[in-house]
Every structure is written in C-alpha cells, then in structure tokens.
Structure 1
Amino acid sequence: MEVLISCLFQLKHPAIVKVICKQFQNFCAISVPVSHVLVKSQILGIIQSHAPKLLKDQKFKCSDTFIHKFLHSKLQWFMCTSTQVMQKTPDNWEKLCEDMFMHFIYYIKIFDIPAELIINADQTGICLIPVGNKTWACTGSKQVNTFAKDEKRQFSLMVVSSAASIILPFQAIIKGKT
C-alpha cells in the first residue's frame, strides 16, 4: 500500500516532487544534516504550499516508509552516520587531570577552605536545533559532512554544586544579537 501511495504521489504531482528534490539537494550542497524530522517537515511544508488538498486526502500519509522510499528512489540517498571528527582528547589528558587535582588538594589544605566553598561547575549545551549523528546522503558517499555539528545552534546551561552537597540555581548563558 505504501509503495502504491508513493508511486501515485510521484505520478500525480511531478512538480512537487521536483521542488522537494531540489530542496534536499540544496541542503546536501551546504552540508545541512538531513534528519527524519527535517525531511518530514519540509515535505509537509512544500505540499501545504503547493497542493494543500493532498494533505486532506485520507490515502496520503507522510510516514517513515514513504520518506525512506521517496529519498532512496528519487535522490538515491540512504541513512548513514556522519564521518566528521567531533573533537580530540589530548594525548597527555591523564597527566593534565592529575596535575589539576594536585593543585586543588594543595590550595584546599594550605588555605583551609571549607566544603561549602569548594564548588564544581560544569556547563552543557542545550540544542535549539537537535542534530543527530545520522543524516541522509548520496549513495556511495565516502565522506559525510554535516553543518551545525559543532554546537553552533545552542545555549549553555551552567550547573554548580558544592562539596557540601549544595546545588546552586542553574544559569542559562545565551549570546545573541538584537
């Protein structure tokens, strides 16, 4: 049934199919990660603007199977994992951690710092545009690059706790332009 719907969609609406394919080729050209959520929203948005009556048709469903078959048959794309390196740990990371730990012990002991003043702070990125490690890419691609993989679309959340088991209020760090 799903294959039939896919074929009928492509036969009855070739202009929409062409617009959708062009949109995803443009995404690929600028290394935008093409996730399942992006594909579905783009297809539904293009259909909404070009043939809104199609969305009211009970037979048409923009299901996972439809999306998979559409991208594979029209663009020869398949789901794959990004091959770009995210970040590298220094070779001497263990020594660096040990040195930092020794500095902490030294200052805590010398200055008699109470547990309430010994804090641990960390920050985590909260993604505004979630990007997974998989994307749709051309069949046979050796290198799969993605845009926005290096935390460009997020804000930071600062979490702080003390050695005395006190958790301080979270702080959201947002940098933007007005």
Structure 2
Amino acid sequence: MGFVKRKGTKATKFLPTDFQSIQEGFLAKVNKVVNEENVPDSLFINWDQTGCHMVPGGEWTMEEKGTAQVSITGLDDKRQITVLLAVTKSGCLLPPQVIYAGKTERCLPKGVCSPDG
C-alpha cells in the first residue's frame, strides 16, 4: 500500500544562547540566600507544574512513503490535568500534587468558598 511508520512533524525546541550564564547566575543567587538565611537543605524546595494529557496519544502514525508533512489527529487535544512536582535541595522528591479543574459541586469541597476573580 506504500505506507511506512513516520513520526509527526512539529516545531523544535531550543535553549537560549546565554543559557549557561543564566543558569550560573540563578545558582549563585540560590546559594547566597541559602547560606545567608541559614535555610536547611530540606526546606529549600524547587517546584514546577506541568500539564498531563487526560487522553494520552502517540506521535507515530502510518503515512505514505515520501510525504513531507505528517499530521496526526488528536495531537491538539487540550484536555489536561495539572501535576505539581517538587524536590528539596537535599534531593528528596516530594509526592506529586494533582490539580483537577471543575465547576460542579462534585469537583469542589463542600462548605468552602473561593474568592471571586
């Protein structure tokens, strides 16, 4: 049939040209605060959040041999949950925090009012 396994095409990611100096400056600031304030390594926490797809999909499909652009249905699906990952300076990985969005009573705790905004 003329089909071969192909990976979907997408934009490439890149680091800034001055990444090394940015990294060194950040680490110098962190070490200065930790040393001046006498913060224990176990209380210095670095965290980040990422979106996790609720419906996982792959980047591979079957496409005709020689095709320049390979589109995959479902790669633009935006349904996600937010996962917060954290690690202490001492190297302890903290349990992940999973954040679900919702607007119904089943999603929100009872008796708690959130601020408008």
* TM beyond 0.5: yes
C-alpha deviations, 1:51-107, integer Å up to 9, x for none? xxxxxxxxxxxxxxxxxxxxx4xxx54321122125332222222211111110111
Separation of aligned partners in 2, 1:139 and 1:89: 32
What is the CA distance between 1:113 and its match in structure 2? Answer: 1.4
What is the CA distance between 1:166 and its match in structure 2? Answer: 4.6
Higher helix share: 1
Instruction: Flag the structure with more relative contact order, 1 or 2, with Cα contacts below 8 A and sequence separation at least 6.
Output: 2
How has the CA–CA distance of structure 1 residues 107 and 147 changed in structure 2, closer, same or farther, with 3 Å as cutoff? farther
Separation of aligned partners in 2, 1:151 and 1:95: 36
What is the CA distance between 1:149 and its match in structure 2? Answer: 3.9
| Partner residue of 1:132 out of 41, 47, 58 | 58
TM score, norm. by length of structure 2 = 0.65
Matched, 1:160 2:86: yes
> Which residue in 2 is equivalent to 1:141?
67
Structure index of larger Rg: 1
> Which residue in 2 is equivalent to 1:99?
25
Gaps in structure 2 of 5+ consecutive residues: 105-117
| Partner residue of 1:110 out of 26, 36, 41 | 36
Instruction: Give runs of aligned pairs for residues 26-37 of structure 1, distance below 5 A.
Output: none
Higher strand share: 2
TM score, norm. by length of structure 1 = 0.47
SS of residue matched to 1:126: strand
Q: Contact 1:125–1:151 at 8 Å: present in 2 too?
A: no
Aligned positions, number: 104
SS of residue matched to 1:79: strand
How has the CA–CA distance of structure 1 residues 123 and 151 changed in structure 2, closer, same or farther, with 3 Å as cutoff? farther
How has the CA–CA distance of structure 1 residues 177 and 140 changed in structure 2, closer, same or farther, with 3 Å as cutoff? farther
How has the CA–CA distance of structure 1 residues 153 and 161 changed in structure 2, closer, same or farther, with 3 Å as cutoff? same
Separation of aligned partners in 1, 2:51 and 2:91: 23
Gaps in structure 1 of 5+ consecutive residues: 1-71
How has the CA–CA distance of structure 1 residues 133 and 127 changed in structure 2, closer, same or farther, with 3 Å as cutoff? same
Cα RMSD over matched residues? 2.8
